[in-house]
Each structure stands twice: as C-alpha cells, then as structure tokens.
Structure 1
C-alpha cells in the first residue's frame, strides 16, 4: 500500500477512536464504574447492540476493542487478510 494511504488510515483511525472514546465517556456519565474499571465494562452489554446487529452479544469492552480494530484497518476475517496480503505483494 502507498505510504500516504497508510498514514491516512492511521490518522483516521486515531480520530475515529478518539471520537468513540469521548462518546462512550459521555454516555458513562458520572457512574462509579466508568472506564476506570474494565471488568465492569466486560460485564455490561454493548450500548450499540440495539442499533448495530454486529454488536449483539458483545460487551462494552469487546465493542471498544472491535472499534479499535476497525479504526486501525485490521482485517476481520482470514479471507480479508489473504486478500490484503495478495494486494501488498502485487
């Protein structure tokens, strides 16, 4: 992949992740469990499960990790990983 495209992915990923963290922090409000206790986030269902069917069954912690992977362009399947490797080799 081209260097400028990779840089764009990184910058876009950081911006998207930052926006997500701010959104989740505001939604958590003043609760004592907030982001200081990841175990509590791993017990609570994803807040986006009602709007996004790919979030159904995920905890809030899983949802945060998933958002991070997507923001940084990590492939979600083995087939996608193989396709990206073939593109890099060409």
Structure 2
C-alpha cells in the first residue's frame, strides 16, 4: 500500500472510530464498528492505526469526512461497489445514531 492510500485509509478509519466513540447508543456504536471491520477486511487487515484525539465532536462533520475518505479509496484500487456498500453501512449506522 502506497503512502497516499495509507493516509486516506487512516483518515477514514479515524473518523469512523470517532463516530463509534461518540455514538448515542450501543447499537449505533456497534454498527460503526462493523463498518470499521468491513473496511479492515477489504484491506486484508493491513490498516494504519486510527487516532481520534483532536477530532471534532460534530457527528455530521465526522460523517462527511469519513464518507469523503471512503469515496477517495476508489482512486487506490478499491472496488467501487465495495466502497458503495461500505458507505451504505455507514449511512445505516448514522441513521441508528439518531442524528
């Protein structure tokens, strides 16, 4: 994995982890964690660590940045359908979050 791909993946993972940490319910948190697990599976579990310090607490912003980073993964060879499925999982988790 090249550095730009790793940086984009790290960004997506960081914002997904922040969403999971700040979720309003355990069900929403678990749904965000499932998105992270799927993203890691797609990358063969070779994923840069996710740091959530210093990220905004605004879940709408976290969602927007995570979605943008996920969409950008297509540029690095991730199957577009897989990206769309992961984004759909993220949107479902966000809906569970009640925001």
Larger of the two Rg values belongs to structure: 1
TM-score w.r.t. length of structure 1 = 0.37
Alignment TM-score, normalising by the size of structure 2 = 0.34
Which has the larger share of helix? 2
